[in-house]
Amino acid sequence: MFGIVAFLTACPATRADVAISEQIIQLGDGINDVRQETAVLQQQVDSLLVVVAKQDTIIKQLANLAGMPLAK
């Protein structure tokens, strides 16, 4: 029994094993790409939130100087 197990573990990988390994590597690369893209998108959203907050503050200040109350 031990001889059979040792023989089977010493066999070279089949084409199917190699193909599956390549697909797993490609899947990992794809997941990393998605993570990087998500990080970039999150940075863009955060940047846009800062811009909107600044614009909102400016609009409130202008409305206050003009004596026009803003609806909340």
This prediction's pTM: 0.61
Confidence check: pLDDT of 3 > 60: no
Q: How many domains does the chain contain in total?
A: 1
Count CB neighbours of 5 within 10 A. 9
Confidence check: pLDDT of 70 > 90: no
* Model confidence band, residue 17 (pLDDT cutoffs 50, 70, 90): confident
Is residue 1 included in any domain, yes or no? no
Which residue range forms the structural domain that includes residue 37? Answer: 13-66
Is residue 34 included in any domain, yes or no? yes
Is residue 7 included in any domain, yes or no? no
Is residue 40 included in any domain, yes or no? yes
Please report the pLDDT score of residue 10 as a whole number.
Answer: 60
pLDDT digits (tens, 9 = 90+) for 31-51: 999 999 999 999 999 999 999
Is residue 3 included in any domain, yes or no? no
Please report the pLDDT score of residue 53 as a whole number.
Answer: 94
Is residue 41 included in any domain, yes or no? yes
